[in-house]
Amino acid sequence: MDICLWPFLFSMTLTDLLILTLAAWRIANLIVDDSEEGPFGVLTWFRHLLGIRYDDKGRMMSVDSPTIYRELGRAVSCMWCLSLWIGLLLALIPSDYRIILLPFALSAGALIVDKQIKR
C-alpha cells in the first residue's frame, strides 16, 4: 500500500512511514532527553554548547548562550518542535537510503515496548 504525500515527488510505503516516524521520534528524543548522554557524552556536550541546562530532577532550567546558540537551544529543547524538523529532514532522504534509519526505528520500538511492559 503506497501513500503518496506529494504527487510526482515521492511516494512511500506504510513500512517507510513507520520507520521514518519511529526514527524521527528516537533521534529527537536522543537530543532533547537529558538522561541520554550518548557515546562519549556527545549529546550532553551538544546540549551544553547550546546552553541547555537541567536541574537535579531532569527539568530544563534555562537556555543561556550567545544569540545563535540560544535560538538553536530553544529549538532543540522542545520535543514537539524538534521532531517536526527532524521528520521533515528524514522525509527528504531518498527511499534507497532509508535503511540507515532502521537502527533508530528499532531502538524506538524497543523503548516503546519497554515502557509498556514496565507500566
Instruction: Give Cβ neighbours of residue 101 (< 8 Å, ≥ 6 apart).
Output: 19, 20, 23, 90, 93
Grid coordinates in use for 116? 509498556
Residues 45 and 32: beta-carbon distance below 8 Å: no
Query: What is the overall mean pLDDT for the chain?
Result: 80
- What residue has cell string 540507515? 100
By mean pLDDT, which of 1-10, 13-22, 44-53, 110-119 is the weakest? 1-10
* Residue 9, pLDDT score: 45
Name the pTM for this structure. 0.74
Cα gap 66→119, rounded to integer Å: 41
In the predicted structure, residue 5 carries a pLDDT above the cut 70: no
* Residue 107, pLDDT score: 93
Cα gap 54→45, rounded to integer Å: 13
Segment 22-75, tens digit of pLDDT? 999 999 988 888 778 888 989 888 887 777 777 777 676 666 656 666 677 777
